[in-house]
Amino acid sequence: MVVALTEPPVARDATGAARGCNVRCTLRWWPGEGLCGRAVCGEAGAVMERGRGRLFRRRRLTVARPAACSAGQPDRPALPFARHRCVIQRSGQQRPGRYRHLTSQQRHEEFKMLRKRLRLIAVPVAAVTLPLTVAGFQADAAAATAPGGAARAGKAAVATAPCLADATTLVGDLDGDGHPDKISNPGLTGTRMTIQWGTANGSFGTKHAVSALLGAKKGEVASAAVADFQRDGTLDMVVNLVKPAGGDDPSTARVAEYRPGPLKRSNLASTKSRHSDIGDHGEVQQLRIANYGGDAYPDLAILNNAGDGQLDRDVRLTKPGSGPGNYDYELQRKYGEFGTTPEPPTMPGDGWKHFYKPCS
């Protein structure tokens, strides 16, 4: 990169005082200083550029001699950010300046002191890292949606890609408005789940119990599992409503559905809901996210009361583009587990962690 100046560059030290620009210097420049192109100091050197107060890149510049701006050229720095700072260490031939009266040994000692000052300035700057936000950190996750899937483009996809606020709290867009919502799942059982709808300013509203939003009747147990099953950037939900039988024979679920997002805030309904067979093979006591297929699609683990004291871990593996599938005997033998009420099967406790990174 070759750059030019309208006038000889002015160097400023850490206190902002102007001094002659010679071999090594710290240069700070701002709009309205009469510079065209990039203001630099010296012939060539390593540059750490800062924009909006954050270190965002390193590069090396090759610097031209000062030259006058052509007529009509804007009298301002040509930069992506209006306010910019550079720390430049020049290695090149000496130009006339404050050191012309010094001997070679004196200049050598003076340059050593300048190098030391520059290191003291540059090291803390270089140690600064770009803080990650919920949106920024998950931009890569949003871009890495499933092949062939209809990935959401633009700011909404980046802003709402799911991430973990903690082990039991998932943040992501559930209602499709482009604002992240907060889903809390104490114990990861799916039976005490709450939702806080996101707002335009990035905050979250009051907690709503999923059981109430689903319209659970008195005595019914509401279970839910939330994940981006189709990897399209919007969270989906599997729900089950059942009233425990209290005897040897399990009850059949009143509602058992897979509900692709976006969901309505009022009742968590989906325009693409379909029946799920999780309520047809027993009495669901828990719904959990799991990773059984070893792929990028979340699966389901169901703590299922099969009757006569039998308590099983049933599984439903997710198929790309269609969500959790139906009961499969071979998959049940491979990933499921049979137990009893006194000795229940183990249930996954880290399902979300397989698919979502922590929010920062």
Query: pLDDT, tens digit, for every residue of 343-352?
Result: 999 999 999 9
Question: What is the predicted pLDDT for the residue at 247?
Answer: 78
pTM: 0.59
> Between the ranges 90-104, 116-130, 173-187, where is the mean pLDDT highest?
173-187
| Three-class DSSP category at 8 | coil
Mean pLDDT of the 63-88 span? 38
Helix H or strand E encompassing 300: strand 299-307
Q: How many CB atoms lie within 10 A of CB 42?
A: 23
Domain ranges of the chain: 2-126, 134-354
CA-CA distance, 74 to 195, in Å (whole number)? 52
Q: What is the pLDDT of residue 293?
A: 85
Q: What is the pLDDT of residue 2?
A: 36
pLDDT of residue 98: 52
- The rounded percent of the chain whose pLDDT value lies above 70 is 56
Of 40 and 254, the structure prediction assigns the larger pLDDT to 254
* From 72-86, 238-252, 328-342, 345-359, the region with the lowest mean pLDDT: 72-86
86 versus 343: the higher-pLDDT residue is 343
Q: Is the dihedral of CA 86, 91, 97, 102 positive or negative?
A: positive
Q: Please answer whether residues 41 and 88 qualify as being in contact, where contact means their C-beta atoms are separated by less than 8 angstroms.
A: yes
User: Rounded mean pLDDT of the chain?
Assistant: 72
User: Comparing 11-25, 212-226, 240-254, 276-290, which segment has the lowest mean pLDDT?
Assistant: 11-25
- CA dist 314 and 160 (Å) reads 31
Report the 10 Å Cβ neighbour count for 122: 16
Check pLDDT > 80 for residue 261: yes
> Per DSSP, what are the bridge partners of residue 26?
87
Cβ atoms of 84 and 51 closer than 8 Å = yes
Q: Which residue shows structure tokens 């750490």? A: 48
Are the C-beta atoms of 1 and 37 separated by less than 8 Å?
no
Per-residue buried b or exposed e for 184-216, using 16+ beta carbons within 10 Å of the residue's own CB: bbeebbbbbbbbbbbeeeeebeeebebbebbeb
| Stretch 65-89: mean pLDDT | 38
